[in-house]
A and B are shown apart, each in its own frame.
Chain A
Amino acid sequence: MKSTTDLARPFVDAAKDVFNSFNIETRTGISVLIDKQAENVCDLSGIIGLSGDAVGAVVVSMEGEVAKLITQKALSKDDVSKEEIDDAIGEIVNMIAGNAKEGLEEYRIVISLPTMVGGKNHTISWRTDGNKIISISFRMEGGKTFYLLLALEASR
């Protein structure tokens, strides 16, 4: 059975590739385990649930201004609406989860539709054990940071 770290790697690689495709260069920082009740310091989270042979969730969390910047890059325009930001970030999380499945070919994983959650310091209540939730920081050009949060558990 793969460890949580091994399960996480395809998601990190997929995230780098997806952001790179929108001309957003990123550098990953350290990965840390977080508490299942940890307060999220970001304004906006895009969440996708996983079911099947590996269960859990994939979350991309960021400040509102970072979400706006990413959406501007993805849509190649400066003027972006709240709806466009939610749509773009949700679709990016969908691409990360769907692309990561390529690196987990031995597992049959079903991904949910993305859900967007907003609000300063919103809390994500994880259903996974606390020692299996990983937070990886991604630093963009100019120093802006967003986070990939992964709660992953293989069922076989």
Chain B
Amino acid sequence: MREVRVLVVDDSSMSRNTSINFFKELSKTKAEFLTAPNGKEALKIALTQGKIDLILLDWNMPDTNGLDFLKTARAHAMLKDVKIIMVTSEKHKDNVLEALKSGANYYVTKPINKDKMKEALEKVNMIV
């Protein structure tokens, strides 16, 4: 089974590490993790560092926020099909709907826990 590549985009190192640790615990697939502290850096990585299988994406970040990154990614031929899970503290139903409408495959709210991450990874078929 090939190694999956996961891009974790969050301006908080605590939240980046939390997502990575839960993924490692839950996924049986070996993974390589790339990280970015904002959408601008994430876009650079996603377009230049080879195929990405999954993006775990925060919303509130400096430079380019998660929603803007999401819209840009979905309009780009290289990223339009990559699986994207929003991992954000934004819990208002309008935020959830806006992200899903803009192309997010799933939406989980922080603080995340193992159950929330498991559900999200199952929804995008990343637990095999």
Contact = CB atoms under 8 A, between A and B. Distances in A.
Given A21-B113, A87-B12, A99 B91 contact: yes
Given A22-B111, A102-B92, A108-B92, 10 more contacts: A90-B12, A94-B89, A95-B89, A98-B59, A98-B88, A101-B90, A105-B94, A109-B92, A111-B90, A113-B11
B24 interface: no
Nearest to A48: B60
A95 B87 CA distance: 11
A87 B13 contact: yes
Contacts of A98: 59-60, 88-91, 109-110
A95 B62 contact: no
A121 B50 CA distance: 50
B57 to A, nearest CB: 14
A99 B60 contact: no
Given A94-B89, A111-B60, A113-B60, A101 B11 contact: no
Interface in B66-86: none
B14 A75 contact: yes
Contacts, number: 62
Nearest to B12: A91
User: A-B pairs with the 4 shortest C-beta distances?
Assistant: A98-B89, A102-B91, A101-B92, A91-B12
A88 interface: yes
Contact of A95 (B13, B111, B113): B111
A97 interface: yes
B91 to A, nearest CB: 4
Interface string A11-43: 000000010011000000000000000000000
B28 interface: no
21 contacts: A22-B111, A75-B14, A75-B17, A87-B14, A88-B12, A90-B12, A91-B15, A94-B12, A95-B89, A98-B88, A98-B109, A99-B91, A101-B90, A101-B91, A102-B91, A104-B92, A105-B92, A108-B92, A109-B92, A113-B60, A113-B62
B44 interface: no
A88 B95 contact: no
A55 interface: no
Contacts of B109: 98-99
A21 B61 CA distance: 22
B95 A101 contact: yes
